[in-house]
Structure 1
């Protein structure tokens, strides 16, 4: 019997797998596709996700092969009519070590995460599709392609917006599909544009965008995005006849969906990432929210106490609802700017049962090197033994602060209440002994 079966190997499923692997938890991660996906799809990594990737041990390659978003260049035909940025580049600081949005093709993000998982001794099982499952009080029995039956304590559906897991649970997926808002997405090659700008064609009078062509870092590819449907080559020829498309490497047509699952958990089965919430592309929130679903859930599955697992749905549903509202608003207003609203640094778990005290639920926002790894971090000068690494108190701090493995403050208060807090959620010393 394996502890966790992860269904889906996108950024959400891979993040969860790494979290379990570095804690020594038995799991399997299965993917119905026979090989890793092609095409870019999501490409923006927000500052908070970069902090997560630092903790997972992949930040160096993410930054080495990615880049900050280039400046925008607007055209009428072959004439440049506007230049500017959609974000303000910022310098790193002690509280925000990765302040800027990083462009990284999703296929490469997934490859980097798979390589990290392999270094931890695990791999994705491609060509293994979940065909059914049933659960009881002791676990879940899942059936895979070919009739293999897998017994696990918990099952996590990270299998995308058309999630088999969600559908078989019978969980509603409330929201809207905008039939009239269709988009074309393609990876292309052209020798007629530079790789230093994000190129855009549109109407200055109506502010309508015909299409954009964005260079993808550390590749010879560009990503083309256009509203509607049709012939990409003909569209480019109409508005930018000086730009010749040498090759369309990959293409996808999609409708804008804004939906959220009515539950993120049913018994021993959890939903995460696009299986739980799908966003408009505005603001670059979808991939990042899924990664942080997994970052929230991983350490809780490792502990395995019911009291702790019960906080996943409470915490992540509130975040997903907020982020869906943000991305929908950006879609409706056409605002392409990025910054404090979209970087996800201000997301918090205020009001969660796991958040106790004045600062409970806040992102700690400092001591990032000390937070690396899988254990708890205790700030203060406790008198007794605790299942956490202990550091001196922060300036002006009263009492002790217990930092969760995902970087948020769980407990802030007098030391006398700490033991009851830990035992109430089933958090014991072994959690602190695992290391990166």
Structure 2
């Protein structure tokens, strides 16, 4: 096979979808017997919504969730007021999605899994990777049941305790974000409305919050608890916790669906590539959950890697082209780690900084700006939406191809539109398959040389 993806979380499933639609022979394997059951990464940022639109799952994602409610603060059984969870970001033609969309992680994964199967892909559940060996032609991957699989490339999307990362000897340096232990759980309860994200803070900085999970009958409980807390993740234990921190009675918690404890920390893998092995998602970077950056950054990893693997395996691009994955994604992940830590500590407001629309790759070797006087959108920037001759750009971008804006002469394998929206500024723009401007020029004069250089012609 071409690519073995280890881990069926949002990262692995996104990558599986992207590779299968490119005609790449890819298999996703997952140690567990089924998909992850919890709501943990519930925020789908606007940039991820754009990715999901390209992959054909956005309608299902939007139908499965809803916007975030405002936060209301409680003290001694009384409401003290309310405030929005995010500072507003104005929508415009170039950014049709500007607010995070709440979808429990388990539901996001169900949608991604269904799309993968629809495209002809599959997930092998109950398949635990125990080791691998690389050679000049590929990798031999061993499983706990004694079987082996041969693949040209392996992608570690198997989480923060990644077995694949350990197998290739990549370190992961990080720090504790908060000394206090945290708890997250999905439950059902009575006694609270579903119009608000209910928070119950204490003077010592501990507290719990109960957020109605859009598209479900559940609430997500999140708690920052005192140091030294001994967790009881049973229904009785969660009931006692809710009764201790809120005005609700223990019996108001009617069902516990999932629970987990953790200590917020950040960590970044020393490398994102070791030969034929690539690290993505939590296997490459760990975030505080504050600000909703972890799942979204992970999806961006998969989206960046997918088209590059497709270019090498099906498009004739050179092997060295895959080096740009680490070149682009590791600095981006490092920046997101700093951002999520800042949100956790109250130094950064959720909003414009966290929607990921401003992320790009201006320093990448794949970004070539050749205009004499660049203005507007530049090489390395996210390519905004818009319309050209009645064609919506995001519709034109959808699919595994490159798109040329501002020139009528088609290039093989590239879709061409005769103009770019005024918001782009003057020039000709070549948009990569992942929606970023790779090359910009005053004319098409340097375009063939660029495509030859990146090996995508």
The TM tier, using the shorter chain, reads over 0.9
The residue matched to 1:353 in structure 2 has which SS? coil
The residue matched to 1:29 in structure 2 has which SS? strand
**Offset, 1:118:** 0.9
1:273 aligns with 2:316: no
**Offset, 1:55:** 0.5
**Offset, 1:392:** 1.5
Runs of 4+ in 1 over 6 A off after TM superposition: none
Match of 1:355 in 2: 367
Query: Matches of residues 389-408 of structure 1 in structure 2 within 5 Å?
Result: 389-394=415-420, 395=422, 397-408=425-436
Match of 1:346 in 2: 358
Query: Matches of residues 224-303 of structure 1 in structure 2 within 5 Å?
Result: 224-228=221-225, 229=229, 230=231, 231-243=237-249, 244-303=252-311
Give the Cα–Cα distance (whole angstroms) in 2 for the partners of residues 7 and 421 of structure 1.
34
Distance of aligned partners of 1:90 and 1:175 in 2 relative to their CA distance in 1, 3 Å threshold: closer
| 1:173-201 residue CA offsets vs partner (Å, 9 max, x unmatched) | 01114583210111111111111110011
Give the Cα–Cα distance (whole angstroms) in 2 for the partners of residues 91 and 322 of structure 1.
23
Match of 2:331 in 1: 318
Total equivalences in the alignment: 424
Contact kept? 2:130, 2:142, Cα under 8 Å: yes
Match of 2:403 among 374, 377, 385: 377
RMSD: 1.7
Give the Cα–Cα distance (whole angstroms) in 2 for the partners of residues 120 and 311 of structure 1.
27
TM-score normalised per structure 1? 0.93
Give the Cα–Cα distance (whole angstroms) in 2 for the partners of residues 192 and 34 of structure 1.
35
| 1:43-89 residue CA offsets vs partner (Å, 9 max, x unmatched) | 01100000000101011111111111001111013210121112245
Give the Cα–Cα distance (whole angstroms) in 2 for the partners of residues 376 and 287 of structure 1.
26
Contact kept? 1:66, 1:102, Cα under 8 Å: yes
Contact kept? 2:410, 2:416, Cα under 8 Å: no
Give the Cα–Cα distance (whole angstroms) in 1 for the partners of residues 352 and 176 of structure 2.
28
Contact kept? 2:87, 2:352, Cα under 8 Å: no
| 1:281-312 residue CA offsets vs partner (Å, 9 max, x unmatched) | 11110000000000000000001132321110
Contact kept? 1:200, 1:209, Cα under 8 Å: no
| 1:357-416 residue CA offsets vs partner (Å, 9 max, x unmatched) | 051100011221211111110012254643200001223744421100000000112422
Match of 1:409 in 2: 437
Give the Cα–Cα distance (whole angstroms) in 1 for the partners of residues 276 and 32 of structure 2.
25
The residue matched to 2:152 in structure 1 has which SS? strand
TM-score normalised per structure 2? 0.89
**Offset, 1:209:** 4.3
* Structure 1: unaligned runs, 5 residues or longer: 429-436
* Structure 2: unaligned runs, 5 residues or longer: 232-236, 313-317, 386-392
Give the Cα–Cα distance (whole angstroms) in 2 for the partners of residues 156 and 141 of structure 1.
13
Query: Matches of residues 173-184 of structure 1 in structure 2 within 5 Å?
Result: 173-177=172-176, 180-184=179-183
Match of 1:216 among 206, 210, 213: 213
| 1:190-245 residue CA offsets vs partner (Å, 9 max, x unmatched) | 11111111001113x56x24100001112111010111244432232223233421
Give the Cα–Cα distance (whole angstroms) in 2 for the partners of residues 384 and 184 of structure 1.
55
